[in-house]
C-alpha cells in the first residue's frame, strides 16, 4: 500500500481521544478501492429463456472471470419483480476475497446488469503476501466547526506502546486472539482500559480461548474460529482468514491476508480486518452501527431561546389513536404476535414479530427483561404526553408514550418498506418469516430513552438473521429535555439504515455502505425516506429540516433544509469538495437533496398520493390496481402511478441493483435502470434532467486525490442527446 507518514503513536492517539467529548467512538477505515465496474447494459449476455437463474449466472461468470468463486446463499428472486439477484464471492486458493464481489441481476434467462470488484489478476505468491504498511487508526470526536457535527480525525502510527509489552510478532502469527486483542486496544473508547490491555497483553491473551474450525461449504481452505474472553466484547468474536485487496507502492492491486473479525461491543459492532502476518496492522474496519450527528452546542439549552425557535414534531398536529396493524400482507398476524420455534403467542406489550420496543434508561446491553408498556386484554395503548414548554418535566414521566410511539413507528416503517420490496427474501427484519425465505430471528430491538448516549440516535445492521438494534436518546436541547423517539424524522432515518444496508450487496453483506460515498448515501437515503414519509397532506410542498424538533433548531441538524429551491438548499455534486463534506452525514445531505429535487419533479408530472401504502390484498392474495397502481407497459408488474410513490419504488429497487460499495454514479445509474425495468424508461429524461440539475449529469467526474478516499468532484450538466429537446 502507498507509504503514509506516521504522525502519532497509539498512546498519544488514545490520550487525544480521552480529552474529546462524544457519546460514542467509532472506527471507520478502508484501503482505496481497487478498480470496479457497474454495467447496466451488458453486451454479451445471450438469453437462455426458461433457464434456472443460477445456471445463467454460472454461464456468465465462467465467461467473465478467471478465478474460483462461490454463489452466496443469500441470493434470491425478488417476489415483486421476478428478478433474481445473485451474489458471487471470489475465492483464491480456497480463501475468500472479502471485497471480491459480483452482483448479477437476472430475468428471463438474461443478465440485466452486474457489478464487479473481483481481483482481476491471477496473483503470484508475492501478491499474496502481507505487505508492510503503517498502522491506521481512526477516531470520531466532536468537531468545533460552525455546526458542531461529529467529524473524524485520522491518526496513523508506526509504533505502539502496546508492542513493547508483547513478544515476537512472528510467534503465533496465525493466532486470531492476537488480532482480536490488538483490535480491542485500537477500538475501546476508554484510553485507560486500552493501556491496561497493552500493559498486560500476554496475561490477557492467556485468558482468551479460541475454538477452531477448518473450512466450510464455501471456503474449504479457510481457517476460522470463535474467540471467547476478549475484554471489552459483549459476545464471542467470530474470526476467519480472508484476503483484502490493497494498493501497493506502484498503485497496483495485491491481496493482503487478514483475520476478519466480528466484534460486538457495548456501543459498536465492528467488522474488522487485521493482518495475519502482523496483527498490529489494521487493514480495514467498518462499524455496523450508524449515528445521527449531535446538534450545535449546549448554547441552545436556554429555555427562552428554545421557545422562540421551537419547531416541534409533536406540535405538528393533535395526537390520534391509530390502528395496531398497518398492513395485512406485511404483518399477516398483526404486530403483537410472535413465536420462537413453537406456537404463536399474542403479546399485550410492545413485543411483536417485527419489533421489540422497550426502555433502556440504564443504557445496558441487556434488553429482554426491560420495561414495556402493557395494553392489557383490550390492547389499549393510550398514554398522555402532558409536557409544556419551560416545565422541568422528565421524559421518564411519559416513558409509556415514548415506547409505544417507537413501537408504532417502527412497525409502520417495516410494513411500508415491505410493500415496496424489502420483504423476507430481501433480508428484512422479522422474528418469523412465515416460510417466505430469508433468515428469520432478527426483529428490530429498539430502545426508548436509552441511557448510553445523549443528543443522538443509532442503528446497527448485522447480516440477515441477526437482530437489528436501534437506540433513541434524550436530547438536552430544551427545558424539559426532548425525547428522540418523538421525532419521527430521526426514527425513520435510523430504521432506514437497515433497509439500505441489507439491500445493497445482499442481505448478509452489511459492509457495502461502510465507508466513503456509500456510507454517505446511506445517510442520504435515510434523510430522503424520512422526508418522503413526512411529506403528506398540506405540508408536502414545505421545506423539510431533519431533526428540528429534537435538536430545538428550526433548520435542523443539516447544513441546509431539504428544498426544491436552490436559494434554500444550493447543494450540488461539487459541494462534496467542501471541507465539511467528507464525513458520511454531509455526503448524505447532497445525495438526499438530489433525490428530493427529482422526487418533486416526479410529482409535477405524475401527481401526488396522500397515502404511501398500496391497497390491501384481496382474499385470493392478489393486489388490486385501485387508484394506486397502473399496469406496466413492459410486463406484468404494477407501477405506482403517482410521483412520490413511484420515486420511493425506484429508490428502493435501485438499492438492489447497485453494486457493493457504490458511488454516486453507480446509484444514479441504478435508479435509471430501475425505471427502465419498471416503466420501460418513461422517466429516463426526467431522471437525467433531475440528476444533472444538481451537477450529476453524464459528464460529471470524480478523481481520487489521496489514499484515504478523498476525491475531487466536478459538476456535469450534460444529459443524453435524446433528452435535449425535453
Residue 228 CA to residue 233 CA, distance in Å, equals 9
Per the annotation, the verdict on 195 as an active-site residue is no
Whether the pLDDT of residue 129 is over 50: the answer is no
Percentage of the chain modeled with pLDDT above 70: 79
Residue 203 CA to residue 200 CA, distance in Å, equals 5
Cell of 369: 427483561
Closest by CA to 716, choosing from 702, 689, 696, is: 696
Domain 37-116 fold is: Nuclear Transport Factor 2; Chain: A, (3.10.450)
pLDDT for residue 635:
84
Whether the pLDDT of residue 48 is over 90: the answer is no
pLDDT for residue 142:
26
Among the residue ranges 54-58, 299-303, 461-465, 543-547, the one predicted with the least confidence is: 299-303
User: What mean pLDDT is predicted for residues 653-678?
Assistant: 97
Whether the pLDDT of residue 144 is over 50: the answer is no
Cell of 207: 485468558
pLDDT for residue 515:
87
Residue 397 to residues 446, 452, 481, 608: CA-CA distances in angstroms?
A: 19, 19, 12, 39
Residue pLDDT, tens place only, 344-403: 556 788 999 999 999 999 999 899 999 999 888 777 777 777 776 556 678 998 999 999
pLDDT for residue 120:
84
pLDDT for residue 315:
52
Among the residue ranges 302-306, 579-583, 650-654, the one predicted with the least confidence is: 302-306
Q: Options 3.40.120.10, 3.40.50.300, 3.60.70.12, 3.10.170.10; which CATH number does 298-486 get?
A: 3.10.170.10
Residue 34 to residues 97, 122, 328, 489: CA-CA distances in angstroms?
A: 13, 15, 45, 36
pLDDT grade for 243, boundaries at 50, 70 and 90 = very high
pLDDT grade for 511, boundaries at 50, 70 and 90 = very high
Catalytic option among 262, 264, 271, 494: 494
Judge contact between 91 and 68, C-beta under 8 A: yes
Domain ranges of the chain: 10-33+126-287, 37-116, 298-486
Residue pLDDT, tens place only, 611-647: 999 999 998 889 999 999 999 999 889 999 999 999 9
User: What mean pLDDT is predicted for residues 69-76?
Assistant: 97
What mean pLDDT, rounded, does the chain reach?
83
User: What mean pLDDT is predicted for residues 331-337?
Assistant: 78
Q: For 186, list phi and psi in degrees, rounded to 5.
A: -65, -45
Residue 553 CA to residue 143 CA, distance in Å, equals 18
Among the residue ranges 37-51, 96-110, 477-491, the one predicted with the least confidence is: 37-51
Residue 146 CA to residue 536 CA, distance in Å, equals 32
pLDDT grade for 157, boundaries at 50, 70 and 90 = very low
Of 375 and 512, the structure prediction assigns the larger pLDDT to 512
pLDDT for residue 543:
84
**How far apart, in Å, do the first and last CA atoms of the chain sit?**
48
Residue pLDDT, tens place only, 538-566: 666 678 999 999 999 999 999 999 999 99
pLDDT grade for 20, boundaries at 50, 70 and 90 = very low
Whether the pLDDT of residue 583 is over 50: the answer is yes
Residue 536 to residues 456, 491, 644: CA-CA distances in angstroms?
A: 26, 17, 10
Cis peptide before 185 (omega within 30 of 0): no
Residue 379 to residues 336, 397, 398, 402, 486: CA-CA distances in angstroms?
A: 9, 21, 18, 16, 21
Whether the pLDDT of residue 42 is over 80: the answer is yes
Among the residue ranges 46-55, 385-394, 701-710, the one predicted with the least confidence is: 385-394
Q: What ranges in 276-396 are assigned the alpha helix state H?
A: 303-308
Helices 584-606 and 684-693 cross at an angle (nearest 10°) of: 140
Residue 464 CA to residue 499 CA, distance in Å, equals 11
User: What mean pLDDT is predicted for residues 208-223?
Assistant: 72
C-alpha angle 203/228/195, rounded to 5°? 40
Beta bridge partners of 224: 213, 240
Amino acid at each position: 500500500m502507498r507509504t503514509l507518514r506516521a504522525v502519532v503513536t497509539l498512546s498519544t492517539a488514545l490520550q487525544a481521544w480521552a480529552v474529546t467529548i462524544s457519546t460514542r467512538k467509532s472506527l471507520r477505515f478502508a484501503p482505496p478501492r481497487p478498480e470496479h465496474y457497474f454495467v447496466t447494459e451488458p453486451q454479451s449476455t445471450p438469453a437462455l429463456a426458461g433457464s434456472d437463474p443460477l445456471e445463467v449466472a454460472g454461464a456468465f461468470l465462467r465467461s467473465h472471470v478467471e478465478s474460483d468463486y462461490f454463489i452466496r446463499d443469500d441470493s434470491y428472486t425478488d417476489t415483486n419483480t421476478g428478478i433474481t439477484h445473485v451474489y458471487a464471492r471470489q475465492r483464491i486458493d480456497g480463501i475468500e476475497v472479502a471485497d471480491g464481489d459480483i452482483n448479477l441481476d437476472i430475468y428471463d434467462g438474461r443478465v440485466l446488469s452486474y457489478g464487479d470488484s473481483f481481483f482481476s489478476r491471477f496473483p503470484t505468491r508475492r501478491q499474496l503476501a502481507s505487505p508492510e504498511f503503517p498502522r491506521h487508526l481512526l477516531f470520531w470526536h466532536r468537531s468545533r466547526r460552525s455546526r458542531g457535527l461529529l467529524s473524524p480525525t485520522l491518526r496513523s502510527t508506526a509504533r505502539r506502546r502496546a508492542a513493547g509489552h508483547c513478544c515476537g510478532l512472528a510467534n503465533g502469527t496465525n493466532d486470531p486472539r492476537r488480532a482480536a486483542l490488538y483490535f480491542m486496544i485500537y477500538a475501546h473508547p476508554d484510553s485507560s482500559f486500552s493501556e491496561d490491555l497493552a500493559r498486560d497483553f500476554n496475561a490477557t491473551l492467556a485468558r482468551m480461548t479460541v475454538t477452531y474450525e477448518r473450512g466450510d461449504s464455501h471456503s474449504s481452505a479457510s481457517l476460522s474460529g470463535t474467540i471467547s474472553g476478549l475484554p471489552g466484547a459483549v459476545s464471542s468474536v467470530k474470526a476467519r482468514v480472508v484476503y483484502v485487496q490493497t494498493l501497493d507502492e506502484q498503485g497496483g492491486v495485491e491481496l493482503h491476508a487478514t483475520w476478519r473479525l466480528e466484534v460486538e461491543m457495548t456501543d459498536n459492532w465492528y467488522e474488522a480486518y487485521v493482518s495475519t502476518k502482523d496483527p498490529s496492522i489494521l487493514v480495514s474496519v467498518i462499524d455496523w452501527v450508524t449515528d445521527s450527528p449531535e446538534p450545535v452546542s449546549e448554547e441552545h439549552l436556554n429555555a427562552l431561546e428554545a421557545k422562540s425557535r421551537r419547531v416541534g414534531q409533536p406540535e405538528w398536529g393533535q395526537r390520534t389513536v391509530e390502528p395496531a396493524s398497518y398492513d395485512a400482507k406485511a404483518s399477516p398476524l398483526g404486530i403483537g404476535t410472535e413465536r420462537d420455534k413453537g406456537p404463536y403467542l399474542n403479546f399485550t406489550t410492545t413485543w411483536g414479530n417485527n419489533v421489540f420496543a422497550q426502555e433502556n434508561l440504564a443504557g445496558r446491553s441487556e434488553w429482554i427483561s426491560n420495561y414495556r408498556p402493557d395494553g392489557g386484554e383490550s390492547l389499549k395503548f393510550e398514554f398522555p404526553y402532558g409536557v409544556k414548554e419551560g416545565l422541568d418535566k422528565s421524559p421518564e414521566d411519559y416513558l409509556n408514550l415514548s415506547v409505544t410511539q417507537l413501537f408504532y413507528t417502527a412497525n409502520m416503517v417495516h410494513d411500508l418498506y415491505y410493500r415496496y420490496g424489502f420483504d423476507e427474501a430481501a433480508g428484512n427484519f422479522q422474528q418469523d418469516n412465515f416460510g417466505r425465505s430469508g433468515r428469520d430471528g432478527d426483529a428490530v430491538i429498539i430502545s426508548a430513552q436509552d441511557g448510553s448516549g445523549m443528543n443522538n440516535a443509532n442503528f446497527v445492521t448485522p447480516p440477515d438473521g441477526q437482530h437489528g438494534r436501534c437506540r433513541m436518546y434524550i436530547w438536552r436541547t430544551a427545558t424539559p429535555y426532548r425525547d428522540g423517539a418523538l421525532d419521527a424524522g430521526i426514527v425513520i432515518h435510523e430504521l432506514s439504515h437497515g433497509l439500505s444496508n441489507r439491500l445493497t450487496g445482499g442481505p448478509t453483506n452489511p459492509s457495502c455502505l461502510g465507508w466513503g460515498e456509500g456510507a454517505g448515501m446511506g445517510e442520504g437515503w435515510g434523510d430522503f425516506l424520512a422526508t418522503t414519509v413526512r411529506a403528506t397532506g398540506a405540508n408536502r410542498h414545505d421545506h423539510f429540516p431533519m431533526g428540528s424538533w429534537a435538536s430545538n433548531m428550526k433548520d435542523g441538524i443539516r447544513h441546509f433544509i431539504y428544498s426544491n429551491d436552490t436559494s434554500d438548499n444550493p447543494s450540488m455534486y461539487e459541494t462534496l469538495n467542501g471541507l465539511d463534506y467528507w464525513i458520511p452525514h454531509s455526503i448524505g445531505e447532497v445525495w438526499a437533496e438530489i433525490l428530493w429535487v427529482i422526487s418533486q419533479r416526479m410529482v409535477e408530472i405524475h401527481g401526488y398520493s396522500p397515502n404511501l401504502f398500496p391497497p390491501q390484498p384481496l382474499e385470493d392474495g392478489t393486489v388490486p390496481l385501485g387508484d394506486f397502481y397502473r399496469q406496466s407497459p413492459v410486463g406484468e408488474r404494477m407501477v405506482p402511478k403517482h410521483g412520490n410513490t413511484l420515486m420511493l419504488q425506484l429508490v428502493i429497487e435501485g438499492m438492489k441493483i447497485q453494486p457493493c460499495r457504490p458511488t454516486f454514479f453507480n446509484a444514479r445509474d441504478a435508479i435509471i435502470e430501475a425505471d427502465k425495468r419498471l416503466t420501460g424508461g418513461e422517466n429516463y429524461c426526467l431522471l437525467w434532467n433531475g440528476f444533472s440539475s444538481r451537477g450529476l449529469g453524464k459528464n460529471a467526474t470524480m478523481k481520487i486525490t489521496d489514499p484515504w478516499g478523498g476525491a475531487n468532484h466536478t459538476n456535469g450538466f450534460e444529459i443524453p442527446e435524446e433528452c435535449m429537446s425535453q
